[in-house]
Amino acid sequence: MSFNGKNKAITFSYDDGILQDIRLIELLNKYNLKSTFNLNSAQLGDRGMLVREGKQINFNKIPKEDVKTIYAGHEIASHTLTHPLLTKLTEAEIINQVENDRLNLSELAGYEVVGFAYPCGGLNNDDRVAEIIKNNTGIKYCRTITENGSFDPQKNLYRFNPTAHHLNFDAIMNLGQRFIDLKTDTPKIFYVWGHSFEMDYSPDYWYRLEQFFKLISNKDDIFYGTNKEVLL
């Protein structure tokens, strides 16, 4: 296993398909980075607000008609139709939420969607849900929100744990420098996940994320790819 002949790869994953993704994609493109964006097809175009850290945060979804254009050059993946906690659903409900979202997004993207990120916080997945998705949908990999701080590849692609969350700025800067300095003869993956709306929590968060992008980008021995390109 290698990544276009390289032993190190970094990939990003962002959930919910919100308008802040546009600014995020501009930053990713500036530094030649690649990400996967996990969308809820039944909620595209919805408008809303979240209260986080004592302030109101815009939570407006990307319009359906703009999906293909906005996410061009990156990967579109499934996040269920309506963002339910899958561990509480029946097998039929899980299949409906995941496979119909995948099919809807495949039509919007113009290619077959094969990736997935589990919705909701906390323990949002288990072996039962993973097996149902594996055996009854066209999904080929599923990302959890359980960060492991590791660069090691994982055998179970249906409960794939990310390395770190993007708001842990000190951690991702330290991990980023370790990854840059790492000399390896075996495959290593640095996987970062988050939500672009979280950048609006504080005035300096966009700046701090860009500093990480600047640190990790444009290294000759690192492959920069979407989740699909790295994991599959």
Is 1's pLDDT higher than 90? no
3-class SS of residue 12: strand
Give, as one character, the DSSP assignment of residue 33.
Answer: -
Range of the domain at 28: 8-231
Range 204-217 average pLDDT: 98
Q: Do residues 151 and 116 lie in contact, with contact meaning Cβ atoms separated by under 8 Å?
A: no
- Domain membership of residue 49 (yes or no) is yes
- Domain membership of residue 219 (yes or no) is yes
Q: Which band of pLDDT confidence, cut at 50, 70 and 90, is reported for residue 177? A: very high
Sign of CA dihedral 205, 146, 14, 3: positive
Domain count of the chain?
A: 1
Sign of CA dihedral 59, 16, 73, 62: negative
pTM more than 0.85: yes
- Domain membership of residue 2 (yes or no) is no
The per-residue pLDDT for range 59-74, each reduced to its tens digit, is 999 999 999 999 999 9
- Domain membership of residue 130 (yes or no) is yes
Q: What is the CATH number of the domain that holds 15?
A: 3.20.20.370
Written as one letter, the residue type at 109 is A
The per-residue pLDDT for range 118-141, each reduced to its tens digit, is 999 999 999 999 999 999 999 999
Measured CA to CA in angstroms, residue 15 lies from 54, 118, 145 at distances of 22, 9, 11
